[in-house]
Chain A
Amino acid sequence: MLEVDNIHVNYGRLQALRGVSITAQEGEIVCLVGPNGAGKSTTLAAIAGGVTPHTGRIALKGRSLGGLPPETIARLGVSLVPEGRHVFGTLSVAENLRIGTFQRRDRAGVASDFERILEHFPRLRERLQQPAGRLSGGEQQMLVIGRALMTRPRLVMVDEPSLGLAPKIVDQVYDILLTLRRSGDITLLINEQSSERVLKFADRIYVMRGGRIHLHDRAANLQDGKAIMQAYFGFAEHATAPAAAKTPGAAGGLDIHAAIERAAE
């Protein structure tokens, strides 16, 4: 349903993305793994319309998203949960949840989604009328995920869902994401620094570094974690060579670094 084809993004003279290609099928969980500054967040922002790639194509269900403003892309069913939570602190929890629903025409659907999300997150129900800024970090993370779901998205992108949260709460967040996936009609694209968690969770994994995709495979093929580590840190180990060789030309032949590394071996 999502096709990102060879996008390049520059911030001034800094090349944040140098040819990134990603696809996600309907109902899939796709994870982007990589160190800080690899371009994961930029990739999500580009899909959501927050930054404009200077080349490349992004399409949702065959429809090009190029040049569309973020609000239009949101209305087409893409919901981004950016890093750092971004709750509207002076708005109440209820207002935060409703902010993405004003363009929806199905009042009954909004009401039932509202109930469903409060069932997922009972903590939020207790605090509906409180300013969202007073919630704890974990509660805020639940709020932003709930808020994103209130728009009835087809594609939910979560940037670093576990950053700055206690491990127990991270488990909770991932539980919720898994429940979402079971509900079936939602595609998830998740950025994560920790590859362990991703291996248990994702259908497919892309490893990014330096603005490029360095590895792409089904999670099932990467379970030993070595190929991911190699792509993540960018060094070759003998032990991981076979794993690296398994890598299909995932990034559409653009993956120069990986190619060079393979050639060097």
Chain B
Amino acid sequence: MIGFLQNLIDALSLGSLYALAALGIGLLFGILRLTNFAHGDFISFGAYALIVPSVEVTATKFIGGWPWYLMLPVVTVIVVLLALLSDLLVFRKLRQASAPTLMIASFAVGYVIQNTILMIYSARPKAIDVWSNLQQQVSIGELRVPQLQLVTIGVTVLLMVGLSLFLNRTPYGVQMRAAAEDFRMARYLGVKGNFVIGLAFAISGVLAAMASLLFVSQTGTLSYVMGVPLMLFAFIATVIGGMGSLTGAVIGGFAVGFVSVMFQAYLPEQLRSFRDAFVFAIVIAVLLYRPSGLIPTKALAQRV
């Protein structure tokens, strides 16, 4: 029982990361029909912002050495700027483009970011410890949980509550939801198209920045492709959840995290290295049963 609870907390913490990344992707898909594969690279970029730009093997902390109340906002601002810049330079020129064109453009943006990181920081992975004191474990009864996992879950819940309040209670949030449902009609009613899209990019930048801090404090390494697997699983999460549905993205994120952790824990030893294959098999099964995801939206219907 204790073992299962321990795994459950692992699952929640991994699922949190996936859910955060999936929310960032789902938000943009909802409004722009953009499947943003550069989202993972937004996350890498935020993580690299923590160290001094150099090609040396050992990383020297830069923003990563600052206290958290400075580190959080500064990294957030950097990633938000990156997200807005990619909209301004690339996606704004493609407003009339089809969904596949946008997706391919997002791959291009991702490669540009990856190669920029490569040029500035070199390809070698670097070790960095952020918030290493959070690795200490807290005991809850017989459970021993790393503080970092609790922080990850807590931050994710906070961000989700904040995002939900924003979308439901503020004029801008209502406009974003309207634009996600029927972009053209929203504009006919005076909702500023580019502004709402910029807002969506900015929020996805905030989510990416938080994901990058939590991710790097868990793994303790930087690599120029570090965001790619996160992006992949988050993308799967949005597909399972139902493209364009934010609730779906969160549910999908936690579901993928849960399934991964449970396979890691309970698969027979010799099969564990094939864990991801089992995860994907479940994804396929879910999609066979519910082709438009757990929470289908109009977004997908329009796209097909």
- Among the stretches B57-65, B99-107, B182-190, the one at the interface with A is B182-190
Residues of A within 8 A of B193 (CB): 69-71
Whether A71 touches B190, Cβ cut-off 8 Å, given contacts A95-B174, A102-B171, is yes
State which residues 139-183 of B face A: CB under 8 Å.
171-172, 174-175, 177-178, 181-182
Assuming the contacts A99-B191, A102-B171, A103-B190, asked whether A70 and B178 have C-beta atoms less than 8 A apart, the reply is: no
| B124 adjacent to chain A (CB < 8 Å) | no
Known A91-B174, A95-B174, A99-B174: A50·B189 in contact at CB below 8 Å: no
When the two chains form their complex, are residues B181 and A91 in contact, meaning their CB atoms are under 8 A apart?
yes
Q: How far is the CA of A96 from the CA of B178 in the complex (A)?
A: 8
A90 interface residue, CB < 8 Å from B? yes
> Is there an interface contact between A99 and B188, defined as CB atoms closer than 8 Å?
no
Question: Whose C-beta in chain B lies nearest to the C-beta of A74?
Answer: B190
User: Which residues of B sit under 8 angstroms from A75, Cβ to Cβ?
Assistant: 190
- Decide yes or no whether A173 CB sits under 8 A from chain B: no
Across the interface, which residues of A come within 8 angstroms of B188, CB to CB? 48, 50, 70-71, 74, 79-80, 82
Q: How far is the CB of A168 from chain B (nearest CB, A)?
A: 26
**CB proximity to A under 8 Å, residues B179-212:** 181-182, 184-193
Interface centre among A86, A89, A147, A148 (most CB of B within 10 A): A86
Residue of A with least CB distance to B245: A90
* Nearest-neighbor residue (CB-CB) of A102 within chain B: B171
Contact B190 A91 (CB under 8 A): no
Report if A100-B190 is in contact (Cβ < 8 Å); known contacts: A90-B177, A91-B174, A95-B174. Answer: yes
Contact A74 B187, beta carbon cutoff 8 Å: yes
- For the side of the interface on A, what is the size category? 20 to 34
Residue among B175, B189, B298 making CB contact with A89, cutoff 8 Å: B298
With contacts A71-B192, A74-B190, A89-B298 taken as known, whether A102 is within 8 angstroms of B184 at the C-beta atoms is no
- Interface-centre pick from A74, A89, A147 (highest chain B CB count, 10 A): A74
Complex: how many Å from CA A98 to CA B181? Answer: 16
Q: Which residues of B contact A71 (CB under 8 A)?
A: 187-188, 190-193
In the complex, chain B residues whose CB is within 8 Å of the CB of A69: 187, 193
Of A50, A71, A90, A98, most buried by chain B (CB within 10 Å of CB) is A71
How far in angstroms is the closest Cβ of chain A from B181?
Answer: 5
Complexed CA–CA distance, A50 and B185 (Å): 9
> Which residue of B171, B177, B187, B192 is within 8 Å of A91 (Cβ)?
B177
Task: Report the count of interface residues on B (CB-CB < 8 A).
Answer: 19
Contact partners of B182 in chain A: CB under 8 A: 86, 88
Query: Least Cβ distance of B182 to chain A in Å?
Result: 6
Q: Which residues of B contact A80 (CB under 8 A)?
A: 188
Q: Are A91 and B178 in contact (CB under 8 A)?
A: yes
Contact of A88 among B171, B172, B181, B192 (CB under 8 A): B181
Interface status of A151 (Cβ within 8 A of chain B): yes
Q: Using Cβ atoms and an 8 Å threshold, which residues of chain B touch A100?
A: 189-191
Q: How far is the CB of A258 from chain B (nearest CB, A)?
A: 32
Q: How far is the CA of A95 from the CA of B189 in the complex (A)?
A: 13
CB contacts (< 8 Å) of A49 on chain B: these are: 187
Interface string of A67-79 (1 = CB under 8 A from B): 0011100110001
Interface contact A151-B189, CB-CB below 8 Å: yes
Task: Please measure, in the bound complex, the distance between the C-alpha atom of A235 and the C-alpha atom of B181, giving whole angstroms.
Answer: 43
Question: What residues on B are CB-neighbors of A148 within 8 Å?
Answer: 189
Q: How far is the CB of B186 from chain A (nearest CB, A)?
A: 7
Among B185, B187, B191, the most chain A Cβ lie within 10 Å of the Cβ of B185
Contacts of B185 in A (CB 8 A): 82, 86, 88
* Closest chain B CB from A71 CB (angstroms): 5
A99, B187: Cβ atoms closer than 8 Å: no
- CA gap between A7 and B297 in the complex, in Å: 37
Tell me which residues across on chain B come within 8 A of A102, comparing CB atoms: 171-172, 174-175, 190-191
Taking CB atoms and an 8 Å cut-off, the chain B residues in 64-96 that contact chain A are: none
| B298-A70 in contact (CB<8A) | no
CB-nearest residue of chain A to B187: A70
Decide: A99 and B186 in contact? CB cutoff 8 A.
yes
CA gap between A96 and B186 in the complex, in Å = 10
Q: Which residues of B contact A91 (CB under 8 A)?
A: 174, 177-178, 181
Query: Which residues on B are within 8 Å of A, measured CB to CB?
Result: 171-172, 174-175, 177-178, 181-182, 184-193, 298
Please name 16 pairs of A and B residues whose Cβ atoms are closer than 8 Å in the assembled complex, sorted by A. Answer: A50-B188, A70-B193, A71-B192, A74-B188, A82-B185, A86-B185, A88-B177, A88-B182, A95-B174, A96-B178, A98-B171, A99-B186, A100-B189, A100-B190, A102-B172, A102-B174
Supplied contacts A70-B184, A71-B188, A99-B186, 20 more A-B pairs, CB within 8 Å: A50-B188, A70-B188, A71-B190, A74-B187, A88-B177, A88-B178, A88-B182, A89-B298, A91-B177, A95-B178, A96-B178, A99-B175, A99-B191, A100-B190, A102-B175, A102-B190, A103-B190, A148-B189, A151-B189, A151-B190
| Leading 4 A-B pairs by shortest Cβ distance | A100-B189, A74-B190, A70-B187, A102-B171
